[in-house]
Structure 1
C-alpha cells in the first residue's frame, strides 16, 4: 500500500466514523460532547498504537472512570492496556483501597502513581504528604516511584512481546519454548489519554529531565515523540485527545480540565459542577468565606448554587468589574483552577459504594421500625390509630411545618420592613420648603372651574387738552 492510498483510506474511515456519530446523535437524540475533529491529531494516536507494545492510559485519580476510554483496550488483542492512576497522592488511603478493589474486580491492570511527587524527589524536595509512607506495605494501594514504575513497565511490555512471539510460533508449528525465551531488543511503551491528565509530566519524571512541554492549558503536546530510556525500553508520548462521549456534559469537561478554562463562555454551569461535588464546609474552610444557609422551606443538605458561591468569593476577594458588579468570570476561573490543581480536595468513589451504604442505612431503619411496632402491639386501639395516622402522613406533617415556618418568616420580614420604613423617615431630613404667596390670584366666584382672567385698563389720555396746554 502506497502513502497516497493509506492517506485516502484514513480520510474515508474517519469521515464514515463521524457520519455514524452524527446519525446516532440525530436518531437517538443523544447529546454528544465536544471531541477532537482534527484528523492529524487522530493520526498521531494511530501511529502510537501501531508502535507500542504496552499501552499506558494516564487518568486522574479523582475520577478515573471519566478519563478512561474502554474502546482503546479493544483495538488489538495482542496488546494490553495499563491504567496509570496519576495524582494518587491526592486520595486518602481508604479511597485508594476502594478503587483497588474495583479494578481487581473488573480485571483492570492498574498502578497508582504521582508525577508531582516523583518530580519533587528528583529535585530533592521534601514531600509534605504522608500517603507515600502509608501505602508502602500494601502492594495494591502502593504509589510507585520512578525506578519501580520503569521496571514494572518494562516487565509488562516484555511479557506481552514474549506472549505474542509464542502465539506466532504456535501458528507456524514451531517450538514455543525457544521463542518464549527470546527477549526483544527494545520494547515500546505508549502513553495516551485525555488532555491535562499529566502525560507530559509523567514522561519528564520518567526520563529524569524536561523533554516535553508542561502547562495547565490542555493541548500543549501537538505531535507524538519517542524517548529512549535504555537499550531495552523506549517511551512514546501521544498528544492529548478528547474522545466523544454521550454520558458527560460540556460543563463537566471544563470543570475536569479537559476543555480550556480561559475559553469558556458560560461559567456558572461549570461552577455548579464544583458546588455539587465539594461539600459546603470544605468550600468555606478553603476560601474563608460564609455561604448562605438553606432557607426554611429548602433541604438542609442542598449544595450551594453557583451564584451564591461566586457572590461570596467576589465579596471576600473584592473582585469588581468596571460596571461596579461582582466579577464572576474572574472568580469562576480561579475557582476552577484551584479545583483542577487540587487546592480544593475532592474525589469520586467507585460505582455502587454510596448506594450500598444508603441501602444498609435504609435496611437498619426498617428493622428498627419493625421491632418497635412488635413491642407496642399490646397498646390500646386509640394509640395504634394515632400511630398509623402519623406513619401514613409523614410528608403532610412535614409540609405543614415548612409552610408554617414560611409564613412566620414572611410575617417577620413584613414587620421588619415596616420598622425600617418608619426609621427611614426619621433619618432622611428634608429641607423645609417655604410656602409661596399666592394671595394676588383672583378667585372665581362662579366656581365653574374656568380660568379667571384679570383685565387691566390704562387711563384715557385727552390729546386736545394736551395740545392747547402746549
Structure 2
C-alpha cells in the first residue's frame, strides 16, 4: 500500500491568498486594483480612488435611495501618503514670516470650474443626464491628470456631480448672487473663474459678503475690502458677522440683542445693494419694512418663532432636488431671486437665517451639512436660494484646505500636516500655555498634540498614553471656530509693508464700530485657565466639543462659551 503523506497545515491567510490569486487570474479589475495597492514595492503608479464621506448604509427595501446622493466626495489618500504624513508630524516647526502670510489668488490660476454643458429643450432628460455625466467625467480626468503632474500634495475638490448640479441650478434661477467668503482667508474662498462666469458670461450681478469679520482686526478687513475693489471692481462688498440665534438670560441676553441688531445692519446693507441693482424693476418696500420690524424687535426664542410663523403661514421653504436645466427669466413674475454661493463652512446658512430674521436653516460646522438648495421666501416677492457649499478646483494643498473648513476634520486619517501648518502660523505653545513634554527636545506637530493631550486629560483607556489624534483634532476645531484666540488668517499682498497706513485708514472706525458688539471681555477678577474651551465644571461639555462636527447644533457647549468664564454663573440656568 502506498505510504500516506502527512497533511500540511493550511492557515486562513494562505487560503485568502489562494482565493485572491484565482480571482486575479480571471482578470477582474476590482481584485487587480486591490492586489496592486497591497504591493508596496511595485513601480507602477498607484491609482487613487474617490469615495463619499460620511456614507450611510442603504436599506435593502430601497426606501432611502437618495440617502448618499449629495454626500461630499473627495479623493482618498494612498497608504504611502498616510505614512509620509505620519513621519512629517515629527519634523520641527518652521515659523512663518509675516510676508509669507500674504496671499493672493495664485492658487486659482489656470483653474476653472465645471459648468453645465450646452443643452436644448428638444433633448430628453436621459440625454441631458448622459451629456452631463460624460462632460463631468472628462473634466475630472483632465483635472486629476494636471494635479498629478504639477503637485506634490494633491488638492481636494468636489467630485460629486449632483452637488455641481445644485450650483448650476442656483446660477440659472438667481437674479443676484451673494458670494459668501470667510474674511480670514478671503482670496482662498473666491475663485476668479466664478466671478468671470457670473459677470461676463451670465451677465448677472453679484455681491461679495465678508463673513466672520468679528474674528480679525479691523485694519485687515479694510485691506481685504480694498483688495477686492481693486481686482473685482464690479462687485460691491458687504460686511457681516454670524451670530447664534438663541435666547439668553440676565446680562448676556442684552449682548445677544445687540448682536441681533448689528446683524440686521448687515442685512440692511445687503438690501441697499440689491435696491441699487434692481432700481424700480421690483418693489422691495415689503422687504425694507420687514428689516425695520426685525430691527425694532429683540431676538426671541427659535422654537417659539418657528411655531408662530408656521401657524401664520409666513414660513415658506421649498426643498428642491430637481436639477434639470432652467431657462432664466429676469425677475420672473415680479419676484427677485437671490442666490447664496460659497465654499463649505463660510456661514451661508447663518446669513440666510439673519435675512429671514429667525432660524429657518440648520447650521453646522461640518462641511457639506446643506445637502441640496432650498428656496426660502423672505417676503412675497423676494426669495433666497441656499446652495450647498462647494470646494472649487484649485492648487490649494489639502493641509491648508482642512484649516479653511473645506474638509471635515472628523474624516482626517492623519491630522499632523494640518496641525504643523497651523503651529507655524500661530504660536500654539504660547496661546494654549503648553509645556514641552519630557520625551521631546523641540516643538513639532506631535509634540504639540501630546502637550495638549496631557493638559486636557486626553489619554488612551488601557495604556494611559496621550491621545494624539483626539488632541490634534480638538485644536483644529478650535481654530476653525476661532476659539481661544486661535485665529488662522491671511492678509492681502503688501499688507505688512503698509500695516501702519491701514491701521490709520478712515474706514477702520466704521469696521470697529461694527465689530465692537461681538468683542467679548472676560471678567478681570477671574484667573481661570484660558486653555479650556468650556468652563472647568463642564467636563461633559468637553466630551461633546471634541466631536462637534457630528452635531448639527452645538447648543450646550457654545452657550457656555459665550455666557461667562465664571463657572459658578452656569448654575443660574439649572
TM-score (norm 2): 0.50
Alpha carbons of structure 1 residues 28 and 187: separation in structure 2 relative to 1, 3 Å:
same
Counterpart selection for 1:339 from 475, 479, 492: 479
- 1:79 corresponds in structure 2 to 204
Offset from partner CA, 1:154-175 (integer Å, 9 cap, x none): 325515979xxxxxxxxxxxxx
| Equivalent residue runs for 1:293-312 within 5 Å | 304-312=443-451
- 1:155 corresponds in structure 2 to 275
Deviation at 1:31, TM superposition (A): 4.8
Alpha carbons of structure 1 residues 10 and 348: separation in structure 2 relative to 1, 3 Å:
same
Distance in 1 (alpha carbons) for counterparts of 2:227 and 2:142: 33
- 1:104 corresponds in structure 2 to 229
Offset from partner CA, 1:176-211 (integer Å, 9 cap, x none): xxxxxx997111110111111111111112112222
1:259 partnered with 2:407: yes
In 2, are the aligned partners of 1:56 and 1:192 still within 8 Å (CA)?
Answer: yes
1:13 partnered with 2:152: no
In 2, are the aligned partners of 1:120 and 1:127 still within 8 Å (CA)?
Answer: no
Distance in 1 (alpha carbons) for counterparts of 2:172 and 2:401: 28
1:326 partnered with 2:466: yes
Deviation at 1:261, TM superposition (A): 0.8
Deviation at 1:55, TM superposition (A): 1.2
Counterpart selection for 1:202 from 331, 334, 351: 351
Alpha carbons of structure 1 residues 153 and 220: separation in structure 2 relative to 1, 3 Å:
farther
Alpha carbons of structure 1 residues 345 and 50: separation in structure 2 relative to 1, 3 Å:
same
The answer to which structure, 1 or 2, has the higher relative contact order (CA under 8 A, 6+ apart) is 2
Structure 2 gaps of 5+ residues are 1-120, 283-330, 501-574
Distance in 1 (alpha carbons) for counterparts of 2:277 and 2:380: 14
1:349 partnered with 2:491: yes
More helix per residue: 1
- 2:434 corresponds in structure 1 to 289
Offset from partner CA, 1:197-226 (integer Å, 9 cap, x none): 111111112112222221111111111111
Distance in 1 (alpha carbons) for counterparts of 2:247 and 2:204: 32
Residue 40 of structure 1: SS of its match in structure 2?
helix
- 2:182 corresponds in structure 1 to 60
In 2, are the aligned partners of 1:153 and 1:189 still within 8 Å (CA)?
Answer: no
- 1:231 corresponds in structure 2 to 380
| Equivalent residue runs for 1:52-451 within 5 Å | 52-76=174-198, 77=200, 78-106=203-231, 107=233, 108-116=235-243, 119=245, 125-127=253-255, 145-158=265-278, 185-246=334-395, 248-280=396-428, 283-285=429-431, 287-291=432-436, 304-321=443-460, 322-343=462-483, 344-354=486-496
In 2, are the aligned partners of 1:53 and 1:157 still within 8 Å (CA)?
Answer: no
Structure 1 gaps of 5+ residues are 137-142, 163-181, 299-303, 359-470
Offset from partner CA, 1:73-129 (integer Å, 9 cap, x none): 122421122211111111222222222222222224211101217x46999943489
Distance in 1 (alpha carbons) for counterparts of 2:172 and 2:492: 32
Residue 411 of structure 2: SS of its match in structure 1?
coil
Deviation at 1:327, TM superposition (A): 0.7
Deviation at 1:63, TM superposition (A): 0.8
Give the greater-gyration-radius structure (CA): 1
Distance in 2 (alpha carbons) for counterparts of 1:17 and 1:73: 20
Deviation at 1:152, TM superposition (A): 2.7
TM-score (norm 1): 0.61
Alpha carbons of structure 1 residues 25 and 96: separation in structure 2 relative to 1, 3 Å:
closer
In 2, are the aligned partners of 1:88 and 1:114 still within 8 Å (CA)?
Answer: yes
Offset from partner CA, 1:428-463 (integer Å, 9 cap, x none): xxxxxxxxxxxxxxxxxxxxxxxxxxxxxxxxxxxx
Distance in 1 (alpha carbons) for counterparts of 2:152 and 2:456: 40
Residue 332 of structure 1: SS of its match in structure 2?
helix
Residue 410 of structure 2: SS of its match in structure 1?
coil
Distance in 2 (alpha carbons) for counterparts of 1:29 and 1:101: 31
Residue 405 of structure 2: SS of its match in structure 1?
coil
Alpha carbons of structure 1 residues 95 and 189: separation in structure 2 relative to 1, 3 Å:
same
